[in-house]
């Protein structure tokens, strides 16, 4: 008899839980129906983050309850800090604003002594569709093929600004292993960096490797690109003979710095929501993102466009942001000294 009552109670609880889930889903759909969700892109138009955000907008609409329209809002500047500050402090906190920041945004929050108005691990990561490995890239016309040769010959590297990896990584290479990269800053986003190489104003850069295939596929087709080193914990599958930057660094403290930066690929192509978003809507966005990333139609379309596409769960992204936020300050003091940042 007691057993029967227990079964009945369990069935009742299950029914209530199911009813609650349906009611919550209906509330989410009701909220998003007819709404517009902004995707704040911490880069100017034409770069990899912009292209990926435009791509996912269609499929996020499909999988978020209520089918809201997703639009992109480009906000490049200050090495990604401008967009990060906006999302953290000014963007809507009701679930109608998400964003994609630069992979080095958490790191930059520990590096900059002024202008940072966010705490990286307080953002809510939604997931990613790629783990873009960074790389030191030059065109063949530069006349160098290895990082060892880069210690003997100066090569101009184009950079978006002193707060971004396009500046920090080449500068660290110069200080840590003795390369002679001449870094020219001020280019407007990665689109500007690529145009600088097209116009022969520069011969190289340090940034995400997968974006080369996306933005300048003819460079690869024509065999014009040389990978000097990967800024990742593992070598590039497209350039297996190129070493990782970490393997070239001998000083133990410097290696810890490079390892911290090299693991940024886990958040390299990830989308976030600002702090303060209601838990139910955050959960709905994370669920929709996972469904979008596994959508056969999206996967086929990404493959057709030759976009790297592999779902990355939000949990390791959140953990990495927390790891950088809580990392020993002596690492960042060392970086500031190496790149001459006060």
Domain that holds residue 63: 24-131+268-336
- Transcribe 4-28 into DSSP letters: HHHHHHHHHHHHHHHHHHHHHHHHH
Indicate if 260 and 280 belong to the same structural domain: no
Is the pLDDT at 6 greater than 60? The verdict is: no
Question: In this structure, are 257 and 154 located in the same domain?
Answer: yes
Same domain, 237 and 148: yes
Q: What is the CATH number of the domain that holds 151?
A: 3.40.190.10
3-state secondary structure (DSSP) of residue 301: helix
Which residue, chain included where needed, has tokens 């002193």?
162
Residue 11 lies in a domain: no
Among 264, 285, 304, the domain boundary falls at: 264
| In a shared domain, residues 292 and 180 | no
CA trace torsion 209, 213, 218, 221 (10° rounding): 90
CATH of the domain at 68: 3.40.190.150
* Higher per-residue confidence, 12 vs 339: 339
Residue 5 belongs to some domain of the structure: no
- Asked whether residue 233 is assigned to any structural domain, the reply reads yes
C-alpha–C-alpha distance, residues 310 and 2, integer Å: 50
Q: Which whole number is the average pLDDT over 12-39?
A: 77
pLDDT of residue 17: 46
Do 253 and 323 lie in one domain? The reply is no
Residue 184: count other Cβ atoms within 10 Å of its Cβ: 15
Confidence label for 5 from pLDDT (cuts 50, 70 and 90): low
Sign of the C-alpha dihedral computed for residues 67, 68, 74 and 78 taken in this order: negative
Instruction: Give the DSSP letter of residue 270.
Output: E
Structure tokens belonging to residue 253: 């403290």
DSSP string, 40-100: EESS-TTSHHHHHHHHHHHHHHHHSTT--EEEEEE---GGGHHHHHHHHHTS-SSSSEEEE
pLDDT confidence of residue 108: 86
- Give Cβ neighbours of residue 68 (< 8 Å, ≥ 6 apart): 32, 33, 34, 35, 36, 37, 61, 96
Read off the tokens for 300. Answer: 């086929």
173 and 258 both lie in a single domain:
yes
Structure confidence at residue 31 as a pLDDT band (50, 70, 90): very high
* Residue 40: strand pairing partners: 73, 99
Asked which of 224, 247, 264 is the last residue of a domain, the reply is 264
Residue 126 shares a structural domain with residue 75: yes
Q: Name the packing angle between helices 329-338 and 252-262 (round to 10°).
A: 100
Strand, helix or coil at 236?
strand
Answer yes or no: is 18 within a domain: no
Whether residue 150 lies inside any domain: the answer is yes
For strand 36-41 and strand 69-74, is the pairing parallel, antiparallel, or unpaired?
Answer: parallel
Are residues 138 and 259 both part of a single domain?
Answer: yes
177 in a domain, yes or no? Answer: yes
Q: How confident is the model at residue 4 (pLDDT cuts 50, 70, 90)?
A: low
Domain boundary at 208, 240, 264, which?
264
> Helices (DSSP H) in 90-206: which residue ranges?
105-111, 165-177, 189-198
Asked if residue 142 and residue 57 are part of one domain, the reply reads no
Is the same domain home to 126 and 28? yes
Q: Is residue 341 in a domain?
A: no
Decide the pairing of beta strands 97-100 and 36-41: parallel
Q: Cα–Cα distances in Å, from 114 out to 105, 117, 245?
A: 14, 9, 29
Query: Taking the model in full, what pTM does it have?
Result: 0.85
pLDDT of the residue at 24: 73
Is 13 within the bounds of a domain?
no
pLDDT in tens, 103-159: 888 998 898 778 899 999 999 999 999 998 999 999 999 999 999 999 999 999 999
The total number of structural domains that make up the chain: 2
Mapped onto helix, strand or coil, the DSSP state of residue 335 is: helix
The token pair at 125 is 């990561």
Per-residue pLDDT tens over the stretch 223-243: 999 999 999 999 999 999 999
User: Same domain for 62 and 149?
Assistant: no
| 157 in the same domain as 258 | yes
């Amino acid at each position: 008899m007691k057993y029967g009552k227990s079964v009945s109670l369990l069935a009742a609880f299950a029914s209530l839980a199911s009813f609650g889930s349906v009611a919550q889903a209906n509330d989410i759909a009701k909220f998003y129906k007819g709404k517009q969700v902004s995707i704040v892109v911490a880069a100017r138009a034409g770069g990899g983050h912009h292209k990926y955000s435009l791509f996912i907008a269609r499929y996020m609409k499909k999988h978020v309850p209520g089918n809201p329209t997703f639009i992109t809002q480009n906000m490049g500047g200050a090495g990604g800090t401008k967009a990060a500050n906006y999302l953290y402090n000014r963007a809507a906190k009701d679930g109608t604003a998400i964003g994609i920041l630069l992979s080095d945004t958490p790191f930059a929050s520990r590096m900059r002594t002024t202008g940072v108005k966010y705490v990286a691990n307080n953002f809510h990561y939604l997931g990613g569709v790629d783990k873009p490995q960074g790389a030191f890239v030059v065109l063949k016309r530069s006349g160098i093929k290895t990082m060892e040769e880069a210690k003997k010959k100066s090569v101009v590297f184009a950079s978006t600004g002193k707060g971004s990896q396009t500046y920090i990584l080449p500068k660290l290479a110069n200080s840590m292993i003795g390369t002679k990269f001449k870094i020219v800053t001020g280019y407007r986003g990665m689109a500007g960096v690529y145009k600088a190489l097209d116009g022969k104003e520069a011969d190289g850069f340090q940034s995400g490797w997968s974006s080369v295939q996306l933005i300048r596929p003819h460079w690869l087709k024509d065999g014009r690109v040389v990978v000097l080193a990967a800024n990742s914990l593992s070598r590039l599958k497209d350039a297996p003979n190129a070493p990782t930057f970490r393997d070239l660094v001998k000083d133990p403290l410097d290696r810890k710095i490079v390892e911290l930066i090299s693991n940024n690929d886990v958040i390299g192509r990830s989308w976030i929501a600002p702090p303060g978003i209601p838990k139910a809507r955050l959960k709905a966005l994370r669920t929709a993102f996972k469904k979008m990333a596994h959508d056969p139609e999206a996967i086929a379309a990404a493959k057709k466009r030759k976009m790297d596409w592999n779902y990355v769960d939000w949990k390791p992204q959140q953990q990495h942001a927390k790891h950088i936020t809580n990392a020993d300050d002596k690492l960042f003091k060392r970086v500031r000294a190496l790149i001459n940042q006060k």
